[in-house]
Structure 1
Amino acid sequence: MVNPYRGREARAFWSGAVADRHCTAMTDLWDPIALSRHDRIATAGSCFAQHIGNALARRGADFLDCEPAPPVFASSDEARRFGYGLFSCRYGNIYTARQMRQLVEEAYGHRRPNEAIWTRDGRFFDALRPAVDPAGHASADTVVRARQLHLAAVRTMLETMDLLVFTLGLTECWQSLIDGTVYPTAPGTLAGAFDPALHAFRNLRHADVLEDMEALIALIRAVNPRARILLTVSPVPLVATASGGHVLPATVRSKSVLRAVAGELADGHDHVAYFPSYEIITAHPARGMFFDPDLRTVNALGVEQVMAQFFSGSLAQAFAPADAQAPMPEAICDEDRVAETL
């Protein structure tokens, strides 16, 4: 009998593609995008995006660093602690689609946050990236000047990149009730002060995230028509939830929304693709082996497995590792710093 499943490749069937293989031996999990060493690659998003950026850089990719560290830092580790070299610009972790959309809108003068500066212990912080300067600034004017330089770097990145790797991290966020500005951390954790008259919790829905991502893609393509976008979903669970429920279903809810949106965008745009880092780490065939004992931190084996899948097919040849044994830097996550204050 003729049926639409006959003749399909082996990876389409659970029995041969998953059940009969160890999770580290699964192949063909994605169709690698066309990418060369001449393509200028930018990264943004949650902390897991740092792993992809680091792997690309050490394999000889043209990784954009539009906001490099000044020579005052004694080491790259010290520079990373201040937000340099983590992503293509010094924006720190961008956990939500809304935050990324608003950053691009601000960079091109389409919006201006009402509450852009927070204070703590007499020091001043950029409310939209409070973690990048752990000690803060001596004055509000210094924060403003630093942000102007930052936004200029963001414009350079957007206008010169060939590919943006954007990792979706969360749906939960805190926003201003004045103008809807979304913050990367809750006011009062790293800096600032929470005021229920000014700030509110928001758990973005599927329609919200899809709208934000469609707007973001349109903004990017307006300034750079050749730009492509590669979406991933962070496998790192929420460190805490403000939803009022248990953190486990809150995590699954958040990641499910993000995964659904990423899939729809990849299906609906020729210049948008999806890479399944989330599935590689969290799907049950892995049996949790890619997490540390805290069941939240992705271990070195997990990162290695994700990178092995990413650099498969045509990308294995285009990006042969020059120093495959070099240790990967640990990802720096704002959520971990926030957790210390909870």
Structure 2
Amino acid sequence: MLFHTELIPESLPVPIRLTDRIVTIGSCFADVMGRQLTDHKLSVLNNPFGTVFNPVSIAKLLTMALRGTKPDESLYIERDGIWFHYDFHSSLWAHSQTELCERLTERLTQTADALRQADWLLLTLGTAVVYRHIQTGQVVANCHKTPGSQFEKYLYQIDHLRDDLVKVLKLLRRANPNLRILLTVSPVRHTSDTLPLNQASKSVLRVIAHELTVWNDWVQYFPSYEIMVDDLRDYRFYEADLIHPNALAQNYIFEKFAQSAFDHELRGFVTEWASIRKALAHRPLYGDTPGHRSFLNSLLKRLDTLRDLVDVEAERSVVLDQLVLSVPAQKGESLQTNSAE
């Protein structure tokens, strides 16, 4: 008997490899996926502009980065002695406009460099509802707690959204002909927009994502939104706010992502690394014992076998520190370390 409709995503025609370089851009779900990928030792530049929900702002930031243009001077804002920029998330701030300009310019340059070398861009679209700054007439990425009277809120027209994304994809392709795009629609519901408007917004994004994959064989789609609303479909998979997927849902979606997007070697590595992370988190019940030291030495050997694949020096240091602190229980016991130490 089945109690839910399981969604099994199709495998990507070109899978992600352990050695691939990835950039994530977009909504808070891009952060979640970026952290998951980083935790599994992939090379990731994770959401360098901070959380950006709407495709208009995403396209604008990517275009700025690749063309080397500086942030718009008219969109800086100062609040309580702190400077922000309407095109960027509030996590990017400074004590002066000059300092912020330098920081944002550096972030744009870093992102452009990463995109030109990346194998994948994971692009997560959050909402088609935008806020237009009335004074400048520009759509903003973040209102930075400015009074709502200074903005006009509306559902962006689908043709204009499509045009913005088509243009930026062409620009990305010119900058890096080997770059592949993986689109997702964020499963986070924007309930503050009302549920009907949220559904209209997600539908617009989903239609555009579908069209972009049909027109471009280097653009793929991963159904994180569909997994959340159709496969999981239960409030026990949400945080207390009933909006954001909880850790259980995030892990489930990532498992589906790994099955769909990773090649055979990377899937094997993910399984091994999950076991190692569990072992790293282990704490002995009875303190320092010969059995625990044997466990640590075995864990160290497992980490050593991965040194040619990924950077495990931080994890090795943790294990070595525990071994150094341990006191042999029997005469003649010795610390086992790699010959390279």
Q: TM-score, normalised by structure 2?
A: 0.72
User: What per-residue deviation string (whole Å, max 9, x for no partner) do you get for residues 148-167 of structure 1?
Assistant: 11111121122111100010
Map of 1:66-77 to 2, 5 A cutoff?
none
- Could you tell me which residue of structure 2 aligns to residue 97 of structure 1? 55
Deviations 1:300-333 (A, max 9, x none): 2211110111111572633232442759xxxxxx
Contact 1:113/1:181, CA 8 A, preserved across alignment: no
Residues 173, 185 of structure 1: 8 Å contact kept: no
Give the aligned partner of residue 277 of structure 1. 224
Whole-Å separation in 2 of the counterparts to 1:152 and 1:142: 16
Amino acid at match of 1:59: H
Give the aligned partner of residue 228 of structure 1: 180
Determine whether 1:215 maps to 2:167: yes
Q: Please tell me the residue identity of whatever aligns with 1:324.
A: A
Which of 59, 78, 81 aligns to 1:119? It is 78
Question: Is 1:131 aligned to 2:90, yes or no?
Answer: yes
Distance of 2:69 and 2:91 partners within structure 1: 24
Q: Which letter maps to 2:79? A: R
- Partner in structure 2 of residue 300 of structure 1: 247
How much has 1:259 moved relative to structure 2? 0.9
- Three-state SS of the structure 2 residue aligned to 1:149 is helix
Letter in 1 for 2:11: D
Matches within 5 A, 1:41-120: 41-63=22-44, 65=45, 87-89=46-48, 91-107=49-65, 108-109=67-68, 113-120=72-79
Residue aligning to 2:122: 165
| CA distance in 1: counterparts of 2:81 and 2:274, whole angstroms | 45
Select the residue among 206, 211, 214 that pairs with 1:259.
206
Equivalent position of 1:324 in the other structure: 274
Residue matched to 1:183: 140
Q: Is the 8 A contact 2:30 2:47 kept in 1?
A: no
Deviation at 1:195, TM superposition (A): 5.6
Q: Say if 1:238 and 1:124 are closer, same or farther in 2 by CA, change over 3 A.
A: same
Q: How many residues are aligned here?
A: 272
**Judging changes above 3 Å, is the alpha-carbon distance between structure 1 residues 252 and 194 closer, same or farther for their aligned structure 2 residues?**
closer
Which residue does the alignment assign to 2:285?
A: none
Q: Deviations over 1:202-237 (max 9, x none)?
A: 321221221111011011111111111000000111
Q: 1:183 to 1:313 in 2, by over 3 A?
A: closer
3-state SS of 1:283 partner: helix
Query: In the superposition, relative to structure 1, how do residues 170 and 158 fare at CA in structure 2: closer, same or farther (>3 Å)?
Result: same
1:88 & 1:285 partners in 2: Cα distance?
26
Rg larger for: 2
Letter in 1 for 2:60: Q
**Structure with larger RCO (C-alpha < 8 A, sep 6+):** 1
Match of 1:201 among 132, 137, 153: 153
- What SS is found at the alignment partner of 1:312? helix
Seen in structure 2, the aligned counterparts of structure 1 residues 110 and 150 have a Cα distance that, compared at 3 Å, is: closer
In 1, Cα distance between the equivalents of 2:261 and 2:196?
38
Give SS of 2:178's match.
Answer: coil
Q: CA RMSD in A?
A: 2.5
Show structure 1 runs of 5+ residues with no match. Answer: 1-19, 66-86, 242-246, 328-342
Question: What stretches of structure 2 of length at least 5 have no aligned partner?
Answer: 279-341
Q: 1:308 to 1:22 in 2, by over 3 A?
A: farther
The structure richer in helix per residue is: 2
Q: Percent sequence identity over matched residues?
A: 26
- C-alpha contact 1:113 1:179 (8 A) present in aligned 2: no
8 Å CA contact 1:163, 1:229 repeated in 2: yes
Kept in 1: contact 2:183–2:220 (CA 8 A): yes
Q: Partners of 1:185 and 1:314 in 2: how far apart? A: 31
- Of the structure 1 ranges 299-308 and 27-36, higher mean CA displacement relative to structure 2 is found in 27-36
Task: Give the SS at the match of 1:202.
Answer: strand
* CA gap 1:239/1:143 in 2 versus in 1, 3 angstroms: farther
Residues 119 and 276 (structure 1 numbering): CA distance in 2 closer, same or farther, change over 3 Å?
Answer: same
Partner Cα distance (1:275, 1:38) in 2:
20
Aligned counterparts of 1:22 and 1:127: Cα–Cα separation in 2: 45
Note closer, same or farther for the CA distance 1:41–1:23 as it changes in structure 2 (3 Å cut).
farther
- AA in 2 matched with 1:118: I
Once superposed, which parts of structure 1, at least 4 consecutive aligned residues long, lie more than 3 Å away? 20-24, 109-112, 176-181, 192-196
Letter aligned with residue 122 of structure 1? G
